[in-house]
Amino acid sequence: YLVAFTNIINLIDGLDGLATGISAIAAFTMFTVAVLGERFDAAALSIALFGDVALSFLKRKYGLEAESFSVSA
């Protein structure tokens, strides 16, 4: 399944933002199902995936530098 899902995302990646949108919707759906099932570990993982998808899209779309998302020590 992992190879199939990777190829599906790779095939729809040609359109601007389509792969990101589908991945974000899937991650948010997994978050909702995990919270309703009281699986808070899975909810934390899926919301982290959602945040990663959103930030990577903003970085690629608007050319933001990677330093703007890092935490300075």
Q: pLDDT, tens digit, for every residue of 1-53?
A: 788 888 887 788 776 667 778 888 888 899 999 999 999 999 998 888 888 87
Instruction: Write down the pLDDT at residue 56.
Output: 75
Cα 63 to Cα 44: distance, rounded to the nearest angstrom: 28
66, pLDDT greater than 70: no
Burial of 57 (0-12, 13-18, 19+ CB in 10 A): middle
Phi/psi region, residue 15 (left: phi>0; alpha: psi -120 to 50; beta: rest), is beta
Q: Look-up: residue for tokens 């919301």? A: 47
72, pLDDT greater than 70: no
At 27, which amino acid appears?
A
